[in-house]
Amino acid sequence: MTSDRKKRRNIIFFTVFGLALIGALILPALYPAAASPAGGEAHPDIGKILPIWSIIPFIGILLSIALCPLLTPDFWHDHFGKVSAFWALIFAIPFVSFFHTTAVVDILHIYIIDYIPFIILLWGLFTISGGIVVTGTLRGTPVMNSLLLLIGTILASWVGTTGASMVMIRPVLRANRDREKKAHIVCFFIFLVANIGGALTPLGDPPLFLGFLHNVPFFWVTKAILPHMILTSLIVLALFYLIDSYYYRKEKSRLVVPEGPAEKIPIKVEGIYNLIFLGGVVGLVLISGYWKAGGFSVMGIEVHYQNILRDVGIIIMGLLSLRFTSWKLREANEFGWFPIMEVGKLFAGIFMTIIPALAILRAGKEGALAPLLVFVTTPAHYYWASGSLSSFLDNAPTYLTFFNMALGKLGMTEAMVPGACALGSITGNPEFVALLKGVSAGSVFMGANTYIGNAPNFMVKSIAEEAGVNMPSFFGYMFKYSIPILIPCFILVTFVFF
């Protein structure tokens, strides 16, 4: 592309950007007047008065992620960070100018409590796993691929979906380097390793860790969701084997088999000491859940010392990995910083624009989604409602919202949760357990429905694309893979368990 064309395109972009910001300055007038009875003073329950159209910037950034790589791939590659900032400002400017202190606190809250720990954890796992290199003859046959996905699925509940994804994606890509069709392999990897596999412990996925912090016993989810996870994983793995076998046979029939036996190189793991740093990250996350060290307040936002220790410790683990791992190993892994930069910039915008959606959701039957939430009553409803929203929103706060809805529905408090989960005891509550199973399975499993449903999904996609895999678009992933493959599985789970 010539420099003149780039200049013209940049002029158009920044002109539209400027006009949009000017428009954003007058948008506060559209907020309901009743929302600020004191002339713009802080309002503590904005979720109850935010209109549904306040989620338009969130929808805008999702559509940008979905459509721009298809319609304007060069522009998107050069300016995705600016597009993310564009939608973030479109929401933030009218939000702050109308709600003042409340808006500032909400923005600081989501970045201090959610985004910064989120990106630190991703950076740490991405950096550490980039130093673990699996070499040797790994041929991407259907059996080998199924075995690698199974290992990653089992690993996910114990080192987290993000940790398992970052450790396993590069060996999977390397094993299938010579395969023609491999986008389906990465998509099934997202299904199993980046989502479904994390359903068995609070270490597996952020929603379950949040439940653990709110008194759900650590191993309750292991026992409660194990049947759901086994059934779903086996079905998805079986479908993968059939699909991968079909593509493999088609490719094999066109290959010219070389004469003589192929040289087999023994499988070898280099940079294995990075597992120590990976274990350090897992330990720090676990400690932050058990250790209650107190904290301090920033504009009413509670910042806990154990979380600061966790985040600082993860950064140290990442820096130690960089210090002790030869860059040659990272080059052998085709390691680069672009995937984490892309995720960091895009999710900075997503976390900003998601604020009204989460606030409205937290308001429950008093918010703009009341006409829908009033019908959420059974375990199957909780499963699909939490899962559907987790496909597009952050699944951790979505889990917490429906967790609290279940408590409110049964007149329970958090202190009653351990007893309610202990079925067979005097305090056991089968109705609460059934609802909690629905929320737990839905928020973890259905994060696989879109690229943004769970933290590692987009990271895996970005790493695969950097390795030369032609991944489907946002909607292509949904309509070609997740909807036809996962939704029937989730329907079956509903009939069997809910």
Confidence of residue 35 (pLDDT cuts 50, 70, 90): very low
Whether residue 161 is contained in a domain is answered as: yes
Q: What is the pLDDT of residue 3?
A: 60
Whether residue 311 is contained in a domain is answered as: yes
pLDDT digits (tens, 9 = 90+) for 186-215: 999 999 999 999 888 887 887 887 788 777
Residue 463 pLDDT > 90 = no
Q: What is the pLDDT of residue 262?
A: 52
| Greatest mean pLDDT range, 58-67, 243-252, 481-490 | 481-490
Indicate the average pLDDT of the chain: 81
Whether residue 73 is contained in a domain is answered as: no
Backbone angles phi, psi at 466, to 5 degrees: -65, -25
Whether residue 220 is contained in a domain is answered as: yes
Lowest mean pLDDT among 217-226, 245-254, 305-314, 396-405: 396-405
Q: Pick from 19, 36, 48: which is nearest to 96 by CA?
A: 36
Domain count, the chain: 1
Q: What is the pLDDT of residue 237?
A: 95
d(CA 255, CA 5): 43
3-state secondary structure 224-288: HHHHHHHHHHHHHHHHHHHHHHHHHHHHHHHCCCCCCCCCCCCCEEECCCHHHHHHHHHHHHHHH
Q: What is the mean pLDDT of residues 473-498?
A: 91
pTM across the whole model: 0.76
Whether residue 242 is contained in a domain is answered as: yes
d(CA 143, CA 244): 9
Q: What is the mean pLDDT of residues 318-330?
A: 88
Residue 38 pLDDT > 50 = no
Backbone angles phi, psi at 141, to 5 degrees: -80, 165
Burial label, 35 (beta-carbon count in 10 A; 0-12, 13-18, 19+): middle
Check: CB of residue 228 under 8 Å from CB of residue 169.
Answer: no
> Which residues neighbour 481 within 8 Å (Cβ) at sequence distance 6 or greater?
184, 187, 188, 191, 472
How much of the chain, in percent, has pLDDT values that exceed 90?
A: 19
Lowest mean pLDDT among 11-15, 85-89, 112-116, 447-451: 11-15
Q: Pick from 35, 54, 55, 53: which is nearest to 45 by CA?
A: 35
Q: What is the mean pLDDT of residues 408-422?
A: 78
Q: How far is CA 95 from the centre of its chain?
A: 25
Q: Pick from 322, 396, 478, 444: which is nearest to 115 by CA?
A: 396
Whether residue 337 is contained in a domain is answered as: yes
Residue 165 pLDDT > 70 = yes
Whether residue 342 is contained in a domain is answered as: yes
Lowest mean pLDDT among 7-11, 22-26, 446-450: 22-26
Backbone angles phi, psi at 296, to 5 degrees: -145, 170
How many of the other CB atoms lie within 10 Å of CB of 235?
16
Q: What is the pLDDT of residue 399?
A: 82
Lowest mean pLDDT among 9-18, 365-374, 387-396: 9-18
pLDDT digits (tens, 9 = 90+) for 263-282: 566 667 778 888 899 889 88
Residue 378 pLDDT > 80 = yes
Check: CB of residue 151 under 8 Å from CB of residue 194.
Answer: no
Check: CB of residue 397 under 8 Å from CB of residue 447.
Answer: no
d(CA 348, CA 338): 15
Whether residue 465 is contained in a domain is answered as: yes
Q: What is the mean pLDDT of residues 63-69?
A: 80
What is the domain extent for residue 294?
115-250+266-497
**293: which 2 tokens?**
């060290």
Angle at 345 between CA 339 and CA 348, to 5 degrees: 130
d(CA 209, CA 120): 17
d(CA 217, CA 230): 21
pLDDT digits (tens, 9 = 90+) for 129-157: 888 877 766 777 899 999 999 999 998 88
How much of the chain, in percent, has pLDDT values that exceed 70?
A: 86
